[in-house]
Amino acid sequence: MDLLDQYKISKTNFTKEEILRLSQLSDQLLEDAQCADILILPGHSDFEPQGIFRDGTLSFYKYSKKNLSDYKVCIVEDPQKIKSENLRSAEIWIPILFFSYEFVKSVGSDFVAQLVINYVEKIRGKSKDPTRAHLKIVLGSENGDVPDQIDYDGPAEGLKELPKIIGKMRLK
Amino acid sequence: MVQYDPLNIADSIANTKIRRLINSLPHNINAKQFRQAIGIAKKGKRICDDLIEDARTTNNENAANCALVLKAYFELWESIAKYWDQLMDFNYNDAWGCLQDGLSASHFILTHASNPEQLLVSELCEYLLSYEEIFPYRVFASTGLVVIESHCNICGKNPYDPGCTHMPGELYMGEAAVCVVDKIEANEVSLVQHPEDKRCIIFLPYDRKHPENSAFRDIYRVSTGVEKPLQILDVQRAVIEENTSELHCPDDWDCPCGSGIFFKDCCMGNPKISISRIVHVQITKDLIKLNI
């Protein structure tokens, strides 16, 4: 089976403004989130205000602080209130990521895809064990339109197809 | 990630002692003197603890981290010796735990050591993986938890706090950074194929007097037939066609064909399925040889 078939592209049911309104953030955090390039959203299968973050949230946040220091990454929750899943699984869970429209426009869709691929490579290290990856990314839209999202649940190797998927979406 | 040379020991006396201990470990294991090898590995670990303490006193982070990687190397050998000690006693469930300890140590060294090839860590890891393959465990228990409160073991801060700069898994003054969980909620226990920790096995009962008639027959045959424990295994596989309906594979498990895709999205509708199965396990004459 083609690994491209494991990707699902759909419309989200929220905009960035709605995410920030529903998340009840402090003024400072709200200000940070408004101008963030990448938002890490709570929720397991979909954004869930004040919900539990996916497994891998801390790992991605720390990775971004070290490797993406030129960009602003913000977790949509007060640090003291963050609850996260810990699934004790060898599978790779990537938190729900919202890439702002301005960020995708400035760095390009290939960069966004490569960012995710590099992170997964870092997590896997030298391990060659077959493993599954779970990804949900939202690409911000212009003028407050409802954004598109990509879901992927399949072998980690399938993430190498992500540039094609994002590229195809941007062409629409 | 910064990597460290575990054999970079400034103290010449400790250096000589460490090298002597390391070189003696394979000899003792091949001579089936497992308890002696365990003692040697423990001695090596104590020297490493002293080296870490000395490095901390002089604020030498590189030396402290080198000694921590070296300690993991002794843990790897200790696990191999304990593994064989348990195998000889037909304690297969406990042997499995030691095997997993050894694999954890080898992954740690492969991540953090600058010279794992000099220490034959990849070979030792593959050696343990070949043994892992002939154990009958295929399904594991895995917990689904929600972490509510945690702190960084290095600075004590909330790991999401912008002030905590420590990266989980990286080394700081002879200690690996981890997120210490203070408050947790347990949600579920699942049976999975790919757990983070393979130590949570589904216990398989067997008669220790007759393991040859149990699911552990392969590991029994190999462990009793081997002349020297550090001999390499040759696990031969073949692709075999089986009736899909006879496999009783859950829909949302990896397809047995090895595609990595869920069974329901792959071969579930096909009458036959091609599966790679172990057909023969052979002990070769090749030995893992170490001389540093």
Give the pLDDT confidence of A53-96 residue by residue, as tens digits. Answer: 999 999 999 999 989 889 999 999 999 999 999 988 888 999 99
Burial of A50 (0-12, 13-18, 19+ CB in 10 A): middle
**B128 plus B163 within the same structural domain:** no
Q: What is the pLDDT of residues A1-39, one digit of tens each?
A: 578 888 999 999 889 999 999 999 999 999 999 999 999
Burial (0-12, 13-18, 19+ Cβ within 10 Å), A94: buried
What is the least distance, in Å, from the CA of A101 to any CA of chain B? 25
Residue B172 lies in a domain: yes
Identify whether residues B177 and B122 lie together within a single domain: no
Parent domain of A112: 3-171
Q: Between residues 244 and 283 of chain B, which touch chain A (CB distance below 8 Å)?
A: 254, 258-261, 265-266
CA neighbours closer than 13 Å in the CB half-sphere of residue B235: 16
Helices (H) and strands (E) in chain B, counts: 6, 6
Q: Is residue B95 part of a domain?
A: yes
- The residue in chain B having the minimum alpha-carbon distance to the alpha carbon of residue A80 is B158
The Cβ of residue B230 has, within 10 Å, a number of other Cβ atoms equal to: 20
pLDDT at B261: 80
Phi and psi at residue B113, to the nearest 5° = -90, 140
B52 & B119 share domain: yes
Residue B178 lies inside a defined structural domain of this protein? yes
Flag whether B148 is in a domain: yes
Task: Express each pLDDT in B13-25 by its tens digit.
Answer: 999 999 999 999 9
With tokens 């003054």, the residue in question is B173
Total number of domains in chain A: 1
Instruction: Determine the structural domain holding residue B236 and report its residue range.
Output: 227-287
Q: Is there a domain that residue B199 lies in?
A: no
Identify whether residues B113 and B147 lie together within a single domain: no
Interchain contact, B111 vs A125, CB within 8 Å: yes
Q: What is the pTM of this model?
A: 0.89
Which are the contacts of B137, defined by CB distance < 8 A and separation ≥ 6?
A: B96, B198, B201, B202, B204
Q: Judge if B119 and B151 occupy the same domain.
A: no
Total of domains in chain B: 3
- Same-domain status, B125 and B151: no
Indicate whether B216 belongs to any domain: no
Complex ipTM value: 0.89
> Tokens 């398989």 correspond to what residue?
B204
Alpha carbon of residue A160 to chain centroid: 16
Q: Are B25 and B95 contained in the same domain?
A: yes
Residue A158 above 80 pLDDT? Answer: yes
Give how far A54 is from chain B: nearest CA, Å: 10
Q: Which of B107, B143, B146 lies closest to A83 in CB terms?
A: B146
From chain B, pick out residues whose CB is under 8 angstroms from the CB of A80. Answer: 158
Q: Which residues from B are below 8 Å from A1, CB to CB?
A: 259, 261, 265-266
- Interface membership of B180 toward A (CB under 8 Å): no
Q: Which pLDDT value is given to residue B231?
A: 92
Asked if the Cβ–Cβ distance from A155 to B181 is below 8 Å, we say: no
- How many contacts does A have with B, using Cβ atoms within 8 A? 83
Q: CA nearest B150: which of A53, A133, A19?
A: A53
